[in-house]
Amino acid sequence: MSELRITDTNSANDSKGRAFGLEGNDFIYVLVALVVALGVYLVLNVLLHASMVIALIMALPVLLGPAAWVLLLRHNKPEGYAGDWIDQCVNGEGWAFAPRAQPMAPGKDRHA
């Protein structure tokens, strides 16, 4: 035992785990959306006697909204991707909340 063997390993806190093919707790958003959509469908169809098609049309966005958010903006994306994407859509420019309020870059005389 003159020499120690060094092995690279991943500690438990490096991985958020996987469930249903989704990283971390992302499956919870889809699961809650499924339960809420099922509840909306049942309330409309059974209690309010809406037709099956109308109840499905009303319940489908409740399921597809969070599922699309998880699959398009969180699944296999870096941490903070969804927030950055929403900021860019709202601001229309880069990372800043108020781009004109940011300090000038060195060597620039005005904002681009």
Angle (nearest 5°) at CA 30 between 25 and 31: 85
Predicted model pTM: 0.66
Within 8 A by CB and 6+ apart from 16, the residues are 23, 24, 25
Per domain, the residue ranges of the chain are 17-98
Spell out the per-residue pLDDT of the chain, length 112, in tens. 568 777 777 665 666 777 778 888 889 999 999 999 999 999 999 999 999 999 999 999 999 999 999 999 999 888 888 888 887 788 765 555 565 666 667 777 665 5
Structure tokens at 102: 């940011």
